[in-house]
């Protein structure tokens, strides 16, 4: 295998829209020629995270995180450099040759393990998919899905598969490819019995691959098709898989969600496939668990409205209420589809029709407050004063959680009219919203000026400020870089600055023009990449040769001072009179030179 050519890395980097990439994780707002948002790398309330499409870089003025599209994927996905390049190449439809990962850059042991796990998941997903669609061993799984109304295009879209009903099909397949089986147990692909035998985990089940945001398979959900328990076997928590963060169908739905600014939230994997097949591609489901705050935040970054369509039973209605409260906390608009008792989206489409379900979505969804009004009336006799008061108090609390002022006013009016109460008296009982919750999503996107100076100590000594400005000019201009090389070399005082200067001279030594984004990519050191991103986002005075000379003198003077301090220390420890005299003469001469400068 060959090393990835720098030209291809450059092509991938330049083809990637960094704003689009980061917007999948961060809600960005345009401010001038940059975009700002809340930093994904640390917790904050005021946006200090800045993205520059012109530079192809991001930088956080709060925590110092910085880099380009490749480093963003590395940091957020825990990937090595080549893995991140491959992932971005897939996004931009750039074909890459086979390459030797170890030749491209060093990876940490944790990154190497995750790479092997991802590769194993890819291979196993391909095997299960091929078994179901291409072999007699998969007939049971394919026929089950067909009976449930799932057509082959949808099977291919979601890469559905079937794990043969054998104890060691997956085990042997992985072993033949030299995967460490203990590591595969840790990855959740196989299991190990009490007597130490490796066993298949999903055998005899239809398998739904679970992908991360970008479509990399990180886990599976296996559904029983013959009545065996449990009904579902899901990947447990692994280094790749955290079900509180992942949504089934997210990778397939992402584009449609962005386009429509909507998402349909359902409970089950089959619901997602059936509804997407019916013509609503912006459909996702949580993975065998209730919606989590992370799920809500991830959806809130992409869409303006979440349509909740959970099962039409008691548990489904309770789950709907919990989901609405979480979604209201991130200030997205919410609506609800009430299915008949005992129905879920999959069964409803099966017993009714796709057209009827689509009509339900378009014409019969209700507001979150209308659903809550229905929900809290259940089991209550509102003719009884005590139950009536409790219902009104509950609804006032829910009205208080609603960010939409129009909905608040409508439902206060409805309560007042139904129970013959003063709207003003009801309004006085509504608790005010928290400041952040009180704003609709569109307003929250425009709030708070971006922080442009770090809360960390940004007061630098004169020499360090001079080194930072020198490097910032050098990164932007090959001519300045070579001039500083001739006058200063790598004689910077900060060790990190020495390394950056040396790498920059090497960069320009290949006749490469100034390109900060490309230079950052070739560093392969996160700490140095952060410094370069920081320097790129600095506000710079206009270039002046006299100012450049001033900065160079400041750096040289600091080096002279450090040498002087060393000589003074040597003098205090020296016992030989002749050596003392020589050191004293050297100190006097150095002081004179410093004074003259």
Task: Transcribe 489-505 into DSSP letters.
Answer: TT--SSHHHHHHHHHHH
Alpha-helix runs per DSSP H in 279-344: 293-300, 314-329
Mean pLDDT of 72-92: 86
pLDDT digits (tens, 9 = 90+) for 232-291: 999 999 999 998 889 999 989 988 988 898 999 999 999 999 999 999 999 999 886 689
Establish how many alpha carbons lie within 13 A of residue 172's alpha carbon, considering only the half-sphere containing its beta carbon. Answer: 7
CATH H-level superfamily of 462-596: DNAb Helicase; Chain A (1.10.860.10)
pLDDT reported for residue 103: 46
pLDDT reported for residue 42: 84
For 110-234, give the CATH class.
Answer: alpha beta
What distances in angstroms separate CA 36 from CA 49, 60, 317, one per listed residue?
A: 5, 9, 38
Q: Is the pLDDT of residue 28 over 80?
A: yes
Percent of the chain with pLDDT over 90: 63
Mean pLDDT of 173-183: 96
**pTM of the entire structure?**
0.70
CATH code for the structural domain at 6-107:
3.90.580.10
pLDDT reported for residue 107: 64
pLDDT reported for residue 593: 65
pLDDT digits (tens, 9 = 90+) for 417-476: 999 999 898 988 887 665 445 455 544 444 444 444 443 445 788 899 999 999 999 999
- 78-114: b (≥16 Cβ within 10 Å) or e: bbbbbbbbbbbbebeeeebeebebeebbebeeebebb
- From 46-55, 140-149, 522-531, the region with the lowest mean pLDDT: 522-531
CATH code for the structural domain at 247-360:
3.40.1360.10
pLDDT interval class at 572 (50, 70, 90): confident
Task: Transcribe 544-568 into DSSP letters.
Answer: -HHHHHHHHHHHHHHHHHHHHHHHH
pLDDT digits (tens, 9 = 90+) for 94-123: 888 765 444 455 567 887 898 899 999 999
What is d(CA 95, CA 269) in angstroms, rounded to the nearest whole number? 31
Q: Is the pLDDT of residue 597 over 90?
A: no
Q: Where are the domains of the chain?
A: 6-107, 110-234, 247-360, 379-442, 462-596
């Amino acid at each position: 295998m060959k090393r990835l050519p720098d030209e291809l890395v450059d092509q991938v980097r330049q083809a990637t829209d960094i704003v689009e990439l980061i917007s999948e994780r961060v809600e960005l707002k345009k401010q001038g020629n940059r975009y700002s948002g809340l930093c994904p790398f640390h917790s904050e309330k005021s946006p200090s995270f800045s993205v520059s499409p012109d530079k192809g870089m991001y930088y956080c003025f709060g925590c110092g995180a910085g880099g380009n599209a490749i480093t963003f994927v590395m940091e957020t996905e825990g990937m090595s450099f080549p893995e991140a390049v491959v992932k971005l190449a897939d996004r931009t439809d750039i074909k890459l040759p086979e390459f030797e990962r170890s030749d491209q850059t060093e990876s940490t042991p944790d990154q190497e393990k995750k790479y092997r796990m991802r590769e194993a998941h890819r291979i196993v997903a391909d095997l299960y998919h091929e078994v179901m669609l291409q072999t007699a061993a998969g007939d049971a799984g394919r026929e089950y899905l067909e009976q449930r109304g799932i057509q082959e295009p949808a099977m291919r879209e979601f890469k559905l598969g079937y794990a043969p009903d054998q104890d060691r099909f997956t085990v042997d397949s992985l072993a033949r490819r030299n995967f460490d089986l203990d590591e595969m147990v840790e990855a959740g692909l196989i299991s190990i019995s009490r007597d130490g035998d490796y066993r298949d985990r999903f055998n005899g089940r239809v398998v739904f691959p679970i992908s991360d945001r970008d479509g990399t398979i990180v886990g599976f959900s296996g559904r029983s098709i013959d009545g065996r328990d449990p009904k579902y076997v899901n990947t447990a928590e692994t280094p790749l898989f955290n079900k509180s963060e992942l949504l089934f169908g997210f990778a397939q739905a992402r584009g449609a969600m962005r386009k429509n600014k909507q998402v349909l939230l359902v409970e089950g994997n089959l619901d997602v496939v059936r509804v997407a097949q019916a013509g609503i591609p912006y459909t996702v489901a949580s993975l065998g668990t209730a919606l989590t705050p992370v799920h809500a935040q991830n959806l809130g970054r992409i869409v303006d409205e979440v349509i909740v369509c959970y099962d039409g039973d008691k548990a489904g209605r309770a789950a709907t209420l919990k989901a609405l409260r979480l979604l209201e906390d991130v200030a997205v608009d919410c609506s609800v589809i009430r299915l008949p008792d005992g129905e879920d989206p999959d069964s409803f489409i099966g017993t009714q029709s796709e057209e009827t379900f689509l009509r339900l979505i378009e014409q019969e969804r209700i507001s979150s407050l209308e659903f809550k009004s229905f929900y809290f009336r259940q089991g209550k006799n509102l003719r009884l004063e005590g139950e009536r008061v409790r219902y009104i108090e509950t609804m006032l609390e829910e009205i208080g959680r609603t960010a939409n002022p129009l909905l608040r006013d409508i439902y206060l009016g409805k309560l007042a009219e139904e129970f013959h109460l003063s709207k003003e008296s009801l309004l006085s009982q509504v608790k005010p919203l928290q400041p952040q919750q009180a704003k609709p999503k569109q307003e929250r996107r425009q709030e708070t000026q971006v922080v442009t100076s770090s809360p960390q100590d940004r007061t630098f000594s004169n020499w360090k400020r001079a080194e930072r400005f020198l490097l910032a000019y050098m990164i932007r201009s090959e001519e300045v870089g070579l001039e500083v090389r001739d006058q200063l070399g790598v004689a910077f005082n900060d060790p990190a600055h020495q390394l950056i200067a040396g790498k920059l001279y090497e960069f320009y030594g290949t006749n490469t023009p100034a390109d900060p984004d490309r230079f950052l990519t070739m560093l392969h050191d996160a700490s140095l990449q952060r410094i370069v991103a920081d320097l790129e986002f600095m506000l710079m005075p206009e270039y002046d040769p006299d100012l450049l000379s001033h900065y160079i003198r400041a750096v040289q003077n600091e080096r002279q001072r450090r040498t002087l301090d060393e000589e003074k220390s040597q003098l205090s420890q020296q016992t030989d009179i002749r050596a003392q005299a020589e050191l004293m003469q050297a100190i006097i001469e150095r002081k004179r030179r410093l004074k003259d400068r």
